[in-house]
């Protein structure tokens, strides 16, 4: 790595404390790399890739390490390429409703900056205050607003990226439309750092909605919450958010950070509508009536402070769960919306049969359920049982017409299961695409493919 340090003086570290810090992500896996490099622009990234290509050294692109599937976990021989210093918002083009950003910009920072211009970037992963836009593009991240506004893919107009051998490509268009050639932008979105290092991103933005109203509806019966979801979505309203939290998660939140949620609730819906104030007031009242007709207890928040209080319950879930067990296996399955109640019933049955606590929450509007198997990794027997259970959950998900990952990607933790969903001929095509982009297999090797 001495040569790399010469090429990028002051931007490379092989110090053990750095290697430890850049060897883990939110999946709970860890493995320190051989070196960490912090490029400050595309020229630096080109130097890293040319060096790595010549010497056949693996490179692991890394944003903020909030990925849930081990996508940025390195091998011992690898260089971690952290984009955290490439963190500038390069242009806010108000006339063309587009922004140009470096990949290390934190999602929440862009959201806040755009508000000053009455603009809006909808994709809002729950990790938005930490995760990078480069990571969002690489994972095609979604968030609570995906129901109305779609996911990261729907906003990426074009990318600048560095290929495995150091060549720079610029994909996509600067215009609202464009259909020339294959859509390489969409190929790179969701490629989990296996095809190229993304060095700048052009994103479409929207006008900031004039108002937002949040509602929280508590149900004693999860089936009634499911019926409320169905009725809301067929009432000609598209909420910007329609989140679901099950009874187990509600009790975990109350035990961790009491915010006054009744302990006998079996489901909570967090709903938001955004748009013109008169219109959203009418929509919020309609949603309220639907929930109340199904015995839901509704709290409405019209100002920012009340809205923030409602979101506290959703944000407290992840830390709260660690008070049930020291670890969780978090799967982000998706089923067609109308099969959510069946899926939740099946999960309850599997939990009772195996004795493994399963807590569910997620984006009900998208059918995206975050299934959390609460485990103690030191309890080998329990952990093994949970692994078998994961496979059964994926089998059921596919049987219901779903997919095994809605937003967290495949990375390392799901690569063993990808062939449950993707047939061999398609996997082979994907491997060939990987080979064209990365003939020496140095970009994030060992990810996605079994």
Ligand X SMILES: Cc1cc2nc3c(=O)[nH]c(=O)nc-3n(C[C@H](O)[C@H](O)[C@H](O)COP(=O)(O)OP(=O)(O)OC[C@H]3O[C@@H](n4cnc5c(N)ncnc54)[C@H](O)[C@@H]3O)c2cc1C
Q: Which residues bind ligand X (CB under 6 A)?
A: 25-26, 60-68, 71-72, 83, 103, 125-127, 131-132, 134-136, 138-139, 141-143, 192-193, 197-198, 318, 407-408, 411, 444
Pairing label, strands 267-275, 211-219 = antiparallel
In 3D space, the residue among 197, 185, 192, 200 whose CA is nearest the CA of residue 45 turns out to be 197
DSSP string, 228-266: HHHHHHTTT---SEEEEEEHHHHHHHHHHS-----TT--
The CA distance from 184 to 163, in Å, is: 13
Name which of 337 and 408 has its Cβ closer to ligand X: 408
The CA distance from 334 to 371, in Å, is: 10
Name which of 25 and 283 has its Cβ closer to ligand X: 25
The CA distance from 273 to 227, in Å, is: 19
Pairing label, strands 197-204, 297-301 = unpaired
Provide φ and ψ at 240, rounded to 5°: -75, -20
Cβ at position 369, least distance to ligand X in Å: 13
Provide φ and ψ at 327, rounded to 5°: -140, 160
Name which of 288 and 444 has its Cβ closer to ligand X: 444
Cβ at position 352, least distance to ligand X in Å: 28
Q: What's 443's DSSP letter?
A: B
Cβ at position 77, least distance to ligand X in Å: 16
Name which of 67 and 239 has its Cβ closer to ligand X: 67
Measure Cα distances from 188 to 152, 224, 426 in Å: 12, 41, 17
Cβ at position 169, least distance to ligand X in Å: 13
Cβ at position 188, least distance to ligand X in Å: 8
The CA distance from 150 to 145, in Å, is: 7
Name which of 239 and 296 has its Cβ closer to ligand X: 239
Do 400 and 335 contact (CB within 8 A), yes or no?
yes
- List all residues 6 or more positions away from 9 whose beta carbon is below 8 Å from its beta carbon: none
Name which of 136 and 397 has its Cβ closer to ligand X: 136
The widest CA-to-CA distance across the chain, in whole angstroms, is 69
133: helix, coil or strand? helix
Cβ at position 61, least distance to ligand X in Å: 4
Beta bridge partners of 81: 37, 61
Name which of 224 and 405 has its Cβ closer to ligand X: 405
Name which of 65 and 365 has its Cβ closer to ligand X: 65
Cβ at position 281, least distance to ligand X in Å: 28
Cβ at position 408, least distance to ligand X in Å: 6
Beta bridge partners of 201: 101, 159
Cβ at position 21, least distance to ligand X in Å: 12
Name which of 103 and 296 has its Cβ closer to ligand X: 103
Cβ at position 128, least distance to ligand X in Å: 8
Cβ at position 109, least distance to ligand X in Å: 12
Do 355 and 387 contact (CB within 8 A), yes or no?
no
Rg (CA), the chain: 22
Helix (H) or strand (E) holding 100: strand 98-101
Name which of 132 and 171 has its Cβ closer to ligand X: 132
Cα first-last separation, the chain: 29
Name which of 202 and 408 has its Cβ closer to ligand X: 408
């Amino acid at each position: 790595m001495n040569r790399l340090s010469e090429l990028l003086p002051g931007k490379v570290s092989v110090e053990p404390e750095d290697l430890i810090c850049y060897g883990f992500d939110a999946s709970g896996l860890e493995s320190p790399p051989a070196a960490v490099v912090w490029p400050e622009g595309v020229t630096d990234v080109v130097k890293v890739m040319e060096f790595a290509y010549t010497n056949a050294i693996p490179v692991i692109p890394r944003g903020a390490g909030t990925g849930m599937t081990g996508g940025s976990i390195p091998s011992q021989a690898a260089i971690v390429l952290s984009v955290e210093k490439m963190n500038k918002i390069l242009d806010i083009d108000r006339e063309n409703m587009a922004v140009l950003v470096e990949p290390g910009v934190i999602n929440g920072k862009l959201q806040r900056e755009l508000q000053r211009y009455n603009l809006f970037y909808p994709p809002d992963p729950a990790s938005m205050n930490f995760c990078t836009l480069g990571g969002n593009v690489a994972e095609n991240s979604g968030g609570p607003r995906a129901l109305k506004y779609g996911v990261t893919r729907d906003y990426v107009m074009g990318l600048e990226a560095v290929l495995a051998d150091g060549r720079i490509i610029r994909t996509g268009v600067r215009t609202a439309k464009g259909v020339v050639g294959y859509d390489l932008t969409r190929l790179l979105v969701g490629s989990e750092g296996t095809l190229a290092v993304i060095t700048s991103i052009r994103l479409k933005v929207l006008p900031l909605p004039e108002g937002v109203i949040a509602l929280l509806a508590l149900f004693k019966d999860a089936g009634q919450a499911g019926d409320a979801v169905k009725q809301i979505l067929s009432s000609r309203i598209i909420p910007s958010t329609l989140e679901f939290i099950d009874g187990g998660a509600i009790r975990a939140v109350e035990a961790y950070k009491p915010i006054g949620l009744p302990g006998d609730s079996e489901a909570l819906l967090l709903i938001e509508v955004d748009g013109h104030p008169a219109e959203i007031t009418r929509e919020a009242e309609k949603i309220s009536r639907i929930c109340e007709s199904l015995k839901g207890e509704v709290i409405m928040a019209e100002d920012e402070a009340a809205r923030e209080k409602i979101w506290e319950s959703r944000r407290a879930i992840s830390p709260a769960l660690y008070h049930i067990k020291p670890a969780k296996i978090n799967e982000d399955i998706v089923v067609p919306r109308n099969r959510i109640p069946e899926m939740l019933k099946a999960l309850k049955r599997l939990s009772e049969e195996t004795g493994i606590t399963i807590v569910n929450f997620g984006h009900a509007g998208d059918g995206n359920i975050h299934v959390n198997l609460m485990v103690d990794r030191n309890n080998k027997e329990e952990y093994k049982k949970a692994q078998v259970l994961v496979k059964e959950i994926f089998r059921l998900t596919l049987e219901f017409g779903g997919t095994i990952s809605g937003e967290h990607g495949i990375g390392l933790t799901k690569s063993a299961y990808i062939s449950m969903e993707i047939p061999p001929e398609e996997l082979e095509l994907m491997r060939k695409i990987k080979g064209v982009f990365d003939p020496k297999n140095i970009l994030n090797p060992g990810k996605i493919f079994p």
